[in-house]
Structure 1
């Protein structure tokens, strides 16, 4: 599956779990880490974990390996590394603090197709 198609599918999964502020950054010309970053937030720890679980379930269904998942237990910032797509799921308080959109300001923001 193409990375863009997959990140759109992940965005839909996040939206299904009521994630807020879904942003997709095109990292292809900015970083070698991944093609896309998806950034979103949840209002509490339980919601952040539910979003992360849904992302993992979609990856499993598409036979895409989850290379790494970090921060799940604390649920303040869960990073899900899916290879070409890295999903950052924040607790809303942490998202404002880290402000990845500003940190990676050189990366074009894509339209989120839900």
Structure 2
């Protein structure tokens, strides 16, 4: 089983929105064979809390335009690790320090990555 076309499409829209807000280290993993709760984890980094919130806002706005609403949102107040759950796609916006400490890439490194088609 692989991520659905809809999940990949939403992932690319979310990645583009994050990229527009200058997110770094943007990567997506197809976790559909490992988890039953979602198809894709999208990870990106922000240099500071205001940038993390701006990335979150941009991702939400663009995915709402695609008809996807977040079913869960965590970490918005602190802005160090914001999680947006759109069911098919879970977006992690992490402060660079949290990204280095938790190293989610290592955890999901056995999962295939998704071509985000970013310039």
Indicate whether the TM-score tops 0.5: yes
CA shift digits 1:1-25 (9 cap, x unpaired): 7111111111000000000000010
Hey, what's the Cα distance between the residues in 2 that align with 1:80 and 1:34? 12
SS at match of 1:25: strand
Residue 23 (structure 1) aligned to one of 21, 27, 39: 27
CA RMSD of aligned residues (A): 1.1
Per the TM alignment, residue 110 of structure 1 is displaced from its structure 2 partner at its CA by: 2.1
- Residue 44 of structure 1 corresponds to 48
SS at match of 2:33: coil
| Aligned length in residues | 114
State the TM-score, normalizing by the size of structure 1: 0.95
Hey, what's the Cα distance between the residues in 2 that align with 1:3 and 1:110? 10
8 Å CA contact 1:30, 1:106 repeated in 2: no
Per the TM alignment, residue 49 of structure 1 is displaced from its structure 2 partner at its CA by: 0.4
- In structure 2, the gaps of 5 or more residues are none
Hey, what's the Cα distance between the residues in 2 that align with 1:94 and 1:73? 15
Per the TM alignment, residue 69 of structure 1 is displaced from its structure 2 partner at its CA by: 0.8
Hey, what's the Cα distance between the residues in 2 that align with 1:91 and 1:48? 7
| 2:36 equivalent to 1:32 | yes
Deviating above 2 A after TM superposition, structure 1's stretches of 4 or more consecutive aligned residues are none
| 2:54 equivalent to 1:69 | no
8 Å CA contact 1:40, 1:88 repeated in 2: yes
State the TM-score, normalizing by the size of structure 2: 0.91
Per the TM alignment, residue 111 of structure 1 is displaced from its structure 2 partner at its CA by: 2.3
